[in-house]
Amino acid sequence: MLACFRFHKVFVAGALLGSMPVVAQQDSSLLLWYKQPATKWTEALPIGNGSIGGMVYGGVQEEHIQFNEATLWTGRPRAYAREGAVEYLQPIRSLLAAGKQQQAEALAGEHFMGLKDIDDHVYAVQKKSWLQKVRQDTSLAMPGVDVHTWKKMRLPVLNGWEAAGLEGLDGAVWFRTGFELPAAWKGRNLVLALGKIRDIDFTYVNGGLVGSGEGGTNKRVYTIAAGAVKEGVNDIAIQVINFYDKGGFAGVKNDERIFTVYPEGMKASEGIALSLEWRYFVQDDSPPAYPQYQGSYQPFGDLFLRFPGMGNVTGYTRTLDIANALAEVKYSANGVGYTRTYFASAADKIMVLRVAADKHAAVSVAGVLGAAHKDCQVQRLNDSTLRLQVQVKNGALHGVAYLKVRAKGGKVHVQQNELVVTGADEVFFYLAAATNYKNYQDVSGNPDAICAQRMRALVNLSYTAMKVKHVRDYKDYFSPFAISLGAHNRTELPTDERIRQFTPATDAGLLSLYMQYGRYLLISSSRAGGQAANLQGIWNDLLTPPWGSKYTTNINLQMNYWPVDLLHLSDCSRPLFEMIKELSVAGKATAAAHYGAPGWVLHHNTDLWRGTAPINASNHGIWVTGAAWLCHHIWDHYQFTLDKAFLKVYYPVMKSAALFFDHFLVKDSATGWLISTPSNSPEQGGLVAGPAMDHQIIRDLYRNCIAAAAVLQVDKEQVLQWATTCGKIAPNQVGKYGQLQEWMQDKDDTSNTHRHVSHLWALYPGKEITPQTPDLYRAARRSLLYRGDGGTGWSLAWKVNLWARLHEGDHAMLMLSHLLTPAEHNGVEQGGVYQNLFDAHPPFQIDGNFGGAAGLAEMLVQSEGEEIELLPALPTALSEGSVKGIRARGGFELNFNWIDGHLQQVQVRSLVTGICRLVYKGQHRSLPVTSGGTYIVRWD
């Protein structure tokens, strides 16, 4: 059926028209809810205000809130670039040109990587000395050691002994158990199978050393000589040495039997199973500081609320209301109804908790502060306030938190560093936290003064007033956007059960909740004046978090901000742009030291201290287009907002990034094209010359600089040079399998299902490959098919967006459905979502949440070209719906709805005077608009 096009202008005083059907601003469709408390961190519910983040477990007898502050990191201000590295640039290029990749990687690994915070040679001396010290005393390996006072640990611990009570511990730990020798095995050599151990073990049987190994991936299988065992019980003692990060018995990820003893010549399944509960003793937890390329984001502390006498519990519910940014726990105990409310106020920069009962004087609670940091102190500050201080290990930062209590009725006193309240009607806890971080070059801040000021501001402020202010502030961000995806919305099910039962056809409401949850997480973790959302947003409970919970700039940081303009959250991008500005300064030192180049460069990771040099290993750490990709966000933000003042500030950052590539690109002797070398295609293939992703991003940077210069009417001569250079960069190529080539050579492996799809950058988030480039469009699709439909959380999210750009809504929905599968299946974690809807890489990475939200929006609106495409990739399962407040490039805000898969009407609000070009199912419409005007377009 052909669409009938009509439009008329609607005069609205400063607001969007409310004439279309959209979801209500507050209803059950915007709730995460559960029938039980969280038992692990990925079940807890997140709250945040851009500086403080909290994870609410919701226990009845004991509430646990693990909290973070955005500027508590390891490390310190320092130099990251390696002076003199540029001397090795041409030799590395020459080796790559000669096909000597291994030699190039070895040379780069030795001379081209950035500086660590501790010199490797210094560390080696310190490590050797410490290891000798802890090896001098082996008395704990001897028989007869009294282990009754030793603590117990159940083995193996796949995620390190940190997950079993030794969080943050590096050093030497002794483990002991035993086994009884069967009489039939007497006189035979035995085999002891232990699985993997991090990092070094010294294994003893009856006081004699039977084996030692090193390396966390090596399985420990030792032979016990017949003469080393005895009748009766035999003692096993193992000294485990771990220098950094995860330690202990890592097990194996298959059905291989470990923790067993058996005679040589027999199978492990025929042996004796050792007890899985071992005794352990920490011998020395102070190894020398481990050299680090960059800092890691740190947890701050833990708040525990202990409620005595909570018996006969009924009616338990735990909720997160993302319409108002309020978490709540409700239950009845001993006939009394209790309600707890939690929020993190950006307006007052305080985390707030309220405990109330429906009977007089029924609230008794003790508040306790603690932290995983070894250097941690809790003290009484006054009759209603506790002070927590933590010092990060081997770093420049310390943090201070104040916990203040108020009560309505009852008594309040401090008892052994606990805030104790008895017999109250209501109790209110207020938490402030800060560090001595001022900026990436200055750590002279006074966290006590900050916390004290925030507490003084509460003097004349009631809980109710704080809550009202918090909700109003939050709704200013959240409410302008709304989405409904039809009537299928299984809100009657707890969220964990909804995830288990999810299909798009039966519960499309979970998709809209997931999208809005992504917006909630972005509002909660990225606010003006704060830090950009890191790999886990603002939430982290580990002293050695995965990948340091840093900023990975070859996809993950950028993905965090894919939905920001599209989903009406432009203000949440301000921390990202402040970060880019700082990186553009720090990156100049790296450009000069490593490449002898002007401008700035950023490799594949950065941290709070704005490290920009290559890190980790040369086969993936030397990747030069992080700055150029971040500059894509600058231009994209301008396209959405048309904020010329913003562009004027950030155009020099874009120009500086382009000036680097003016110097960096070199002519390929074989083809004559300009290529990027050395670099890599994240995160596979090693160090190479000319990866396609680099060339796509660099061309995008040049083109965006040219467009920005035209808007600002500057740099006309420079623009001509950029246009010339852009045309000489190695183009995208179609390979022998019809695929888009990932490298200069046609060497793609069609069986490769790697999670990275780096060479498809030009399709999304870039805009170089479109239906108007049909050969490349088909080749990109072929490459995406070869990569397959599997992947980790963020990889699935990228594929959602890619399939949406290919206008294949059902395939995009398949990827989104995979993204919403349970992360935990039969005890094994996989890509998907945890019970609290956190994205699972696994482990948790927040980029999948943000990328998935952007992907769903990309199915509904695409505006990277001159026209706004409406419902370009609408999946069959989402045949009915509406959206309000979605934004499009060109300065437009849209409301629209669809029924039976057909667009009904579109309401357009324009920020500009000009032409709004719409397209729906091949129907092109041009709409004259004026700045501030609102228009309705109907397709009947």
CATH of the domain at 190: 2.60.120.260
Task: Say if 639 falls within a structural domain.
Answer: yes
- Among 152-166, 387-401, 472-486, 540-554, the range scoring the smallest mean pLDDT is 152-166
Q: Are the C-beta atoms of 893 and 861 separated by less than 8 Å?
A: no
Q: Are the C-beta atoms of 311 and 334 separated by less than 8 Å?
A: yes
Q: Please check the confidence at residue 17 and state whether its pLDDT lies above 80.
A: no
Q: Is 703 found in the same domain as 626?
A: yes
User: 144 or 175: which carries more pLDDT confidence?
Assistant: 175
CA–CA separation, 347 vs 263, rounded Å? 68
So what's the pLDDT on residue 24? 31
3-class SS of residue 523: helix
Average pLDDT on 738-760 reads 93
3-class SS of residue 693: helix
Q: Side chain identity at 684, as an amino acid letter?
A: Q
Q: Which of 216, 81, 78, 211 is nearest to 159 (CA)?
A: 216
So what's the pLDDT on residue 322? 97
Q: Please check the confidence at residue 14 and state whether its pLDDT lies above 80.
A: no
Residue 83 Cα distances to 21, 296, 440, angstroms: 61, 24, 20
So what's the pLDDT on residue 326? 97
Q: Are the C-beta atoms of 692 and 759 separated by less than 8 Å?
A: yes
3-class SS of residue 438: coil
So what's the pLDDT on residue 71? 98
Total tally of structural domains belonging to the chain: 3
CA–CA separation, 510 vs 514, rounded Å? 6
Task: Say if 683 falls within a structural domain.
Answer: yes
So what's the pLDDT on residue 614? 98
CA–CA separation, 594 vs 603, rounded Å? 11
Q: Is 695 found in the same domain as 572?
A: yes
Q: Are the C-beta atoms of 939 and 932 separated by less than 8 Å?
A: no
Q: Is 138 found in the same domain as 59?
A: no
Which helix (DSSP H) or strand (DSSP E) does residue 262 occupy? Answer: strand 260-263
In degrees and rounded to multiples of 5, residue 129 shows phi and psi of -65, -45
The share of the chain scoring above pLDDT 90, in percent, equals 92
- 828 confidence band (pLDDT: 50, 70, 90): confident
Q: Which of 365, 353, 369 is nearest to 466 (CA)?
A: 353
CA–CA separation, 299 vs 538, rounded Å? 9
So what's the pLDDT on residue 255? 82
Q: Is 570 found in the same domain as 465?
A: no
Residue 627 Cα distances to 311, 528, 697, 722, 753, angstroms: 57, 21, 10, 17, 27
Mean pLDDT computed over every residue of the chain = 94
Q: Which of 47, 49, 46, 48 is nearest to 528 (CA)?
A: 49
pLDDT tens by residue, 715-734: 999 999 999 999 999 999 99
Task: Say if 116 falls within a structural domain.
Answer: no
Q: Is the peptide bond before 541 cis (omega within 30 degrees of 0)?
A: no
Q: Which domain covers residue 663, as residue numbers?
A: 561-731
3-state secondary structure 711-729: HHCCCHHHHHHHHHHHHHE
CATH of the domain at 684: 1.50.10.10
Task: Say if 753 falls within a structural domain.
Answer: no
pLDDT tens by residue, 559-609: 999 999 999 999 999 999 999 999 999 999 999 999 999 999 999 999 999
Residue with token string 């003793």: 281
Q: Which of 280, 299, 190 is nearest to 242 (CA)?
A: 280
pLDDT tens by residue, 20-61: 433 334 468 999 999 999 999 999 999 999 999 999 999 999
Q: Please check the confidence at residue 836 and state whether its pLDDT lies above 90.
A: yes
Q: Please check the confidence at residue 13 and state whether its pLDDT lies above 90.
A: no
Q: Are the C-beta atoms of 250 and 220 separated by less than 8 Å?
A: no
Of the three residues 731, 764, 785, the one that is the final residue of a domain is: 731
Residue with token string 């680097």: 660
Instruction: Provide the whole-model pTM.
Output: 0.94
CA–CA separation, 785 vs 787, rounded Å? 5
So what's the pLDDT on residue 19? 38
Q: Is 664 found in the same domain as 595?
A: yes
Q: Which two tokens stand for residue 805?
A: 């750009």
CA–CA separation, 608 vs 395, rounded Å? 12
Q: Is 323 found in the same domain as 270?
A: no
Helices 101-111 and 89-97 pack at an angle, to 10 degrees, of 170
So what's the pLDDT on residue 272? 94
Of the three residues 284, 306, 321, the one that is the final residue of a domain is: 284
Q: Please check the confidence at residue 12 and state whether its pLDDT lies above 70.
A: no
Q: Side chain identity at 295, as an amino acid letter?
A: G
So what's the pLDDT on residue 539? 98
Q: Side chain identity at 565, as an amino acid letter?
A: D
Q: Please check the confidence at residue 759 and state whether its pLDDT lies above 50.
A: yes
Q: Are the C-beta atoms of 198 and 246 separated by less than 8 Å?
A: yes
Using the CB atoms, write b or e for 716-746: b if 16+ within 10 Å: eebbeebeebbeebbebbbbeeebbbbbbee
Helices 644-664 and 574-595 pack at an angle, to 10 degrees, of 20
CA–CA separation, 832 vs 820, rounded Å? 5
Task: Say if 566 falls within a structural domain.
Answer: yes
Task: Say if 786 falls within a structural domain.
Answer: no
CA–CA separation, 335 vs 744, rounded Å? 72
Question: DSSP for 748-814?
Answer: --TT---S--GGGTTTTT--SSSTTSHHHHHHHHHHHHHH-S---HHHHHHHHHHHHHTT-HHHHHH
CA–CA separation, 607 vs 440, rounded Å? 9
Q: Which of 538, 676, 668, 535 is nearest to 606 (CA)?
A: 535
pLDDT tens by residue, 277-320: 999 999 999 999 999 999 999 999 999 999 999 999 999 999 99
Q: Side chain identity at 444, as an amino acid letter?
A: S
CATH of the domain at 394: 2.70.98.50
Q: Which of 555, 602, 604 is nearest to 580 (CA)?
A: 602
So what's the pLDDT on residue 15? 32
Q: Is 309 found in the same domain as 236?
A: no
Contacts of 451 (CB under 8 A, 6+ apart): 387, 400, 401, 402, 432, 433, 434
So what's the pLDDT on residue 690? 97
Q: Which of 230, 205, 235, 234 is nearest to 220 (CA)?
A: 205
Q: Are the C-beta atoms of 45 and 32 separated by less than 8 Å?
A: yes
Q: Is 346 found in the same domain as 439?
A: yes
Helices 793-805 and 809-819 pack at an angle, to 10 degrees, of 170
Q: Which of 288, 150, 294, 262 is nearest to 602 (CA)?
A: 294
Q: Is 599 found in the same domain as 720?
A: yes
How many CB atoms within 10 Å of residue 869? 20
User: 416 or 377: which carries more pLDDT confidence?
Assistant: 377
Q: Please check the confidence at residue 855 and state whether its pLDDT lies above 60.
A: yes
3-class SS of residue 333: strand
Task: Say if 869 falls within a structural domain.
Answer: no
CA–CA separation, 496 vs 38, rounded Å? 11
In degrees and rounded to multiples of 5, residue 749 shows phi and psi of -100, 115
Task: Say if 93 falls within a structural domain.
Answer: no
Distance of CA 499 to the CA centre of its chain: 20
3-class SS of residue 860: helix
CA–CA separation, 922 vs 869, rounded Å? 9
* CA 617-397-554 angle, 5° bins: 30
Of the three residues 229, 263, 284, the one that is the final residue of a domain is: 284
Question: DSSP for 280-318?
Answer: EEEEE--PPPPP-SS--B---EEEEEE-TT--SEEEEEE
pLDDT tens by residue, 439-493: 999 999 999 999 999 999 999 899 999 999 999 999 999 999 999 998 889 999 9
Q: Is 706 found in the same domain as 623?
A: yes
So what's the pLDDT on residue 211? 97
Q: Is 352 found in the same domain as 321?
A: yes
CA–CA separation, 761 vs 41, rounded Å? 33
Q: Is 280 found in the same domain as 300?
A: no
3-class SS of residue 731: coil
Residue with token string 């030692």: 212
3-class SS of residue 363: strand
Q: Please check the confidence at residue 830 and state whether its pLDDT lies above 80.
A: yes
Q: Is 673 exposed, middle or buried (0-12, 13-18, 19+ CB in 10 A)?
A: middle
- 101 confidence band (pLDDT: 50, 70, 90): very high
Distance of CA 546 to the CA centre of its chain: 9
